[in-house]
Amino acid sequence: MAELSNAVDIANAVRNGSVSAVAVLDQYLARIDARESSIHAFNLVTREQARSMAAKVDADVKAGRDPGPLAGVPIALKDNMCTRGVPTTCSSRILDGWKPPYDATVVTRLAEAGAVFVGKTNLDEFAMGSSTENSAFGVTYNPHDTSRVSGGSSGGSAAAVAAGFAAASLGSDTGGSIRQPAALCGVVGVKPTYGTVSRYGLVAFASSLDQIGPFTVDVRDAAVLLEAMSGHDPLDSTSIPQPALSLQASLDRDVKGLRIGRITDLPGGSDSEVEARLAESFDALAAAGATIVDVELPSMKYGLTAYYLIAPAEASSNLARYDGVRYGLRVDAADTNAMYMATRAAGFGDEVKRRIMLGTYALSAGYYDAYYGKALKVRRLISDDFARAYQKADVLLTPTSPIVAFPVGAKVDDPLSMYLCDVFTIPTNLAGHPAMSVPFGTGAHGLPVGVQVLAPTLGESVMFQVAAHLERVAPGGAK
Amino acid sequence: MSETFMIDGYELVVGLEVHVELATATKLFSASANRFGDDPNTHIDPVTLGLPGALPVLNRQAVELAMRIGLALNCSVQACTFHRKNYFYPDMPKAYQISQYDVPLNIDGWLELPGGKRIGIERAHLEEDTGKSTHIGGTGGRIHGSDYSLIDFNRAGVPLVEIVGRPDIATPDEAKQYVTELRQILVAIGASDAKMEEGSMRCDANVSVRKPGAPLGTRCEIKNVNSVRSLGRAIEYEARRQIALIEGGEKVRQETRHWDENDGRTHTLRTKEDADDYRYFLEPDLVPLAPDASWIDAVRAALPMLPRERRARLSSATGAPADGEAIMVVVERGQDDYVLAVAAAGADASRALVHVKEAYAEQGATPAVPAADLARMIVLETSGKLTSTQAKTVLAEIVANGGGDAEKIAAAKGFEAMDTGALEAMVDEVIAAQADAWAKFCAGEEKAMGALVGAIMKASKGKADGKAVTALLQSKRG
């Protein structure tokens, strides 16, 4: 694996004129040319747009204008974020040919910060999956071992950063879709507090759970990207009315005295080496003067079940608009209902159909109380459990994923075992809390392991403080 | 009395659901204009079209207008939530309608009919309108069997308030009064232009029948009622249809029926078994709406006087009945302030009411004629310087010119007050000339009076006051 430059260093060099944004871009495009065919991180590489964005950054620098904190940083966007005039597919055939007439708020904000967009990355169709094998356009392979998956659903974005195709990327996280692929690809991935980053222009999977966040090569970059993306957006009613996060100051703060929570009733089944890395991360924080405290999250074990009712229920409604009437794929048929059915049968893949059926069922008259209604109650219980735990602890640590990157095809016929990949990440989304994955050594086959740092609502500062420490002490000389 | 209204021994039980489009500048969840009648698909945007990634943002003006409606209908305004109502239809861009479900904005109010009866209001909630489909080819303008369909999304996302009335309406006439009164309230508070013909006000009627004292019968919902008159016809037709079924030993099926204006009947649209399962759930793209007390108070304080209060005010100023035709008509035209201004300028209020009702049909709420001009004319009339017939003539000219000096107009027309002595002499002459008619009149044949009055009016060249003539004739008869 090539040594990866971080976004902060690139932006500094571009801003002070020591390197041009175009030259930086050329390096990244060269890496894409060399290796993309064996990784398939992208649905689309936006070469021309990237060149013109980079040239504009250079022109700004030359004219004495500051292009912003992400000046010339090549960034890849998950292909479920709307980009004006550029196809946005969600890795689904149903959106065939659709070009959004508008940019997502995050896209606008990163562009204003000087970022250069290199392309749209592959994902599990509509972000439904944990391996990026559910894409209509093929698998994204893990840069650490191309016989293995990159994780998902933001596998393309994780792989793009890990392979050096982009200095950073954006993903979306509904049940772990940023953190799990970050762990499997050995990069940093952050799911911010729900409402911190605007969802305007993010194609919805499960609206009450979806949140956009960054993939980066190190923790500082993640802080800088989040600072650029976050802050209230009047176009998203669920956006928290507060200014952008301020995180960089917390990165160098000592962890001494912090209370680090260990969940004593954490669901089992993790690889022994994953468990060993987690234990080492607690040891490292204790050695630095933090206090390890035991907490219980008894309802955490129901999180997966509640999630697989709530997320599909919302998805069944969110995906109903893909009916062939106004945009995307249309398969003609004898009448309107037949056209709907033919279009949706041809346009959606199996996992999407599975979840639409699950969600429709969960919301149906006579079943609502037993399924969706009960799942909402579990969701509240999980939030209550977290609230109690955060009375005792400032942050919690868990593995990000119970296992390291698995071979392509190993779980495709077993949806339940695929769903279990997200057992540690899902409860965070149900509670609306922030969490991030930090690379912390390796596991089986020398593959990356991620440790997950969880924090309460708007606890990003302390979360980054702990994550930055873990990064400094990570085994194997991780960055 | 309405309480005793029956058809063949059955009572009617009617509840109305009225949808009104709010008169906002923009749509309920986006910045596109809320405007009727423009070229198709000119007021659209990512939110209106339900494009992937677009999100709704609630329109504050729509909330305020909806609160006005609630407060004008004596509802409680409460913290509320939005739900998704899921179903597929080509003119529904997201395949769900954002509406309010278990916790609506306005609950538990009432509307008072002009006669004083109160009709309960269960709720008045906010929701978005759909687009408009036009089905080309096939029969009956239905989607089934058509060759293709055109969709105009200008209406999609337009804010609606659905006002759900309780089944307190007992006659077709009460239903018509309810809708008429509701329309006036909506217009008065500036919430909607409430035009049934343009679809900015739509009315569905839930109709059932029962024997007095029996439990509620099975109800049918009647859709496609496009005027107040049709509403009365549709309810009566539907009641008779249900009664005929029951009398024939059949049962009424719960169903949605379509009113056909052409054949004057209702027809099955869909039965209960075909009803969609809307899979309502809390709209995750919106946060709860919780208007604070100071906002609610401000909206309440800014409410204009409602038609009921306006009628009462005009009634006490004129002595005319509040639910009589003159006051109903004048208040509906919004000319009650004008009548009061005429009275304030020194004229008799009841004459002002009559003249405005009769002569101002083409004038709006702010007539062109200065109130003082009408007042002067009325003073001439009530002081006997103009007969009521002359007064009408003078007023017609004043209205046509948008104002004018009644005295000058009367003089120009050669109208002059006829004193009582002159009139009496003229009456005596006519009695002498028309001895036959006079004899018949004296014998109690009231019809004969017409001939006498006509002759006197002719002799006076219209200057005689009809009322004075009648009074003279009667006093002379003894």
Nearest to B355 by CA among B318, B410, B321: B318
Q: Taking 60 as the threshold, does the pLDDT of residue A478 lie above it?
A: no
B470-476 average pLDDT score? 83
Q: What are the φ/ψ torsions at residue B79 (nearest 5 degrees)? A: -60, 140
Contacts of B90 in chain A (CB under 8 A): 323, 325, 336
- The pLDDT value recorded for residue B430 is 87
ipTM surpasses cut 0.85: yes
Q: Look at A238 and B284 and tell me if their CB atoms are within 8 Å.
A: yes
Does A203 sit within 8 Å of B52, measured CB to CB?
yes
Domain ranges in chain A are 7-250, 301-375
Q: What is the pLDDT of residues A52-92, one digit of tens each?
A: 999 999 999 999 999 999 999 999 999 999 999 999 999 99
Asked whether the beta carbons of residue B144 and residue A327 sit closer than 8 angstroms, the reply is no
Do B327 and B315 form a contact (C-beta atoms < 8 A)?
yes
Q: Report d(CA A434, CA A267) in Å as an integer.
A: 20
Binary contact (B52, A90; C-beta < 8 A): yes
For residue B1, is pLDDT > 50? Answer: no
Minimal C-alpha gap between A52 and chain B (Å): 26
Of A234, A237, A364, which is closest to B286 when you measure between CB atoms? Answer: A237
DSSP 3-state of A48: helix
CA distance A141 to chain B (A): 27
> Where does residue B261 rank: exposed (0-12), middle (13-18), buried (19+ CB within 10 A)?
middle
- Whether the Cβ atoms of residue B31 and residue B61 lie closer than 8 Å to each other: no
Is the bond preceding A281 in cis, omega lying within 30 degrees of 0?
no
**Mean per-residue pLDDT for B103-109?**
98
The beta-carbon neighbor of B279 closest among A207, A237, A364 is: A364
Enumerate residues 6+ apart whose C-beta is below 8 A from B371.
B338, B341, B342, B344, B345
Q: What is the dihedral of CA A139, A143, A144, A146, to 10 degrees?
A: 40
How far apart CA A464 and CA B392 sit, in angstroms, is: 87
Using one digit for the tens of pLDDT, what is the confidence trace for A197-247? 999 999 999 999 999 999 999 999 999 999 999 999 999 999 999 999 999
Whole-number Å distance between alpha carbons of B157 and A375? 31
The residue annotated as part of the active site, out of A20, A78, A172, A401, is A78
Q: Which 3 state secondary structure label does DSSP give B259?
A: strand
Beta strand residue intervals within B178-218, DSSP E: 201-210
Burial bucket for residue A315 (CB in 10 Å: 0-12, 13-18, 19+) = buried
> Average pLDDT, stretch A43-53?
98
Å from A216 to nearest chain B CA?
Answer: 24
Question: What pLDDT shows up at residue A171?
Answer: 98
Out of B57, B96, B277, whose CB is closest to A234?
A: B57
For residue A125, the chain B residues in CB contact (below 8 A) are: none
pLDDT surpasses 60 at B2: no
B3: pLDDT strictly greater than 70: no
**Partner-chain residue, chosen from A102, A236, A326, that has the shortest CB–CB distance to B93:** A326
CA A45 → CA A48, A49, A56, A372, distances in Å?
A: 9, 9, 19, 40
Q: Which of A208, A235, A239, A360 to mutate to test binding with chain B, by most B CBs within 10 Å of its CB?
A: A235
How many other β-carbons are positioned within 10 Å of the β-carbon of residue A391?
10
Q: Which residue of A has its CA nearest to B45?
A: A101
Picking from A15-29, B86-100, B221-235, B265-279, which range would have the lowest pLDDT averaged per residue? B265-279
CB distance B55–A237 less than 8 Å?
A: yes
Confidence of residue B454 (pLDDT cuts 50, 70, 90): confident
Residue B413 has, within 13 A of its CA and on its CB side, a CA count of 22
Kindly name the residue from A130, A131, A157, A177 that is annotated as catalytic: A177
In the prediction, which pLDDT does B29 show? 98
Q: Which of A371, A356, A420, A400 is nearest to A187 (CA)?
A: A400
Report, as an integer, the average pLDDT of B54-65. Answer: 98
User: φ and ψ at A170, to 5 degrees?
Assistant: -110, 145
Largest CA-CA distance found in chain B, in angstroms, rounded: 94
Which pLDDT belongs to residue B418?
64
Q: Per CB distance under 8 Å, which residues of B are interface residues toward A?
A: 46, 49-58, 84, 86, 88, 90, 93-96, 143-144, 149, 151, 277, 279-281, 284-287
Which residue numbers of A have CB closer than 8 Å to B's CBs? 81-82, 88, 90, 95, 98, 100-102, 104, 199-204, 206-208, 234-238, 313-314, 316-317, 320-321, 323, 325-327, 335-337, 340, 360, 363-365, 368, 372
**Cβ neighbours around A31 below 10 Å, total:** 18
Is A461 in the active site? Answer: no
Q: Is A78 a catalytic residue?
A: yes
Minimum Cα–Cα distance from B57: chain A residue: A237
DSSP secondary structure, A222-291, as one string: HHHHHHHHBS--TT-TTS-SS-----GGGTT---TT-EEEEETT------HHHHHHHHHHHHHHHHTTPE
Reduced to 3 states (helix: H, G, I; strand: E, B; else coil), residue A136 is coil
DSSP 8-state symbol, B288: P
pLDDT of residue B78: 98
Which of B84, B279, B280, B289 best probes binding to A when mutated, by most A CB atoms within 10 angstroms? B279
Chains A and B: how many Cβ contacts under 8 Å? Answer: 100
The one-letter amino acid code at B457 reads M
Confidence category of residue A477, pLDDT binned at 50, 70, 90: low
Contact A326 B49 (CB under 8 A): yes
CA distance A268 to chain B (A): 32
Whole-number Å distance between alpha carbons of B155 and B390: 52
Q: Quote the tokens at residue B55.
A: 């999100």
Scan for tokens 């896209």, then name that residue: A107
Mean pLDDT, residues A24-34 taken together: 98
Residue B58 has its nearest CB partner, among A104, A202, A237, at A237
Asked whether the beta carbons of residue A317 and residue B53 sit closer than 8 angstroms, the reply is no
Annotated catalytic, A135?
no
Question: Which CATH topology does A7-250 take?
Answer: Amidase signature (AS) enzymes (3.90.1300)
Query: What does residue A147 show for φ and ψ, rounded to 5 degrees?
Result: -90, 0
Spell out which residues of chain A touch residue B281, defining contact as CB-CB under 8 Å. 313-314, 317, 363, 368, 372
Which listed residue (A5, A92, A131, A153) is catalytic? Answer: A153
Search chain A and give the residue with CA nearest B282.
A314
What are the start and end residues of each CATH 1.10.10 domain in chain B? 420-477
d(CA A244, CA B344): 62
Residue in A203, A237, A335 closest to B285 by CB: A237
Residue of chain B whose alpha carbon sits nearest to that of A126: B52
Please answer yes or no on whether A360 and B286 come within 8 Å at the CB atom.
no
Q: Is B461 left (phi over 0), alpha (psi -120 to 50) or beta?
A: left
The structure's pTM equals 0.91
State whether A102 and B144 contact (CB < 8 Å): no
Q: A207 and B285: CB-CB below 8 Å?
A: yes
pLDDT at position A186, please?
Answer: 98
Q: Which residue reads 């970059």 in tokens? A: A221
On average, the pLDDT of chain B sits at 92
pLDDT of residue B422 exceeding 80, the answer is: no
**Domain B420-477 falls in which CATH fold?**
Arc Repressor Mutant, subunit A (1.10.10)
Q: How far is B267 from chain A (nearest CA, A)?
A: 23
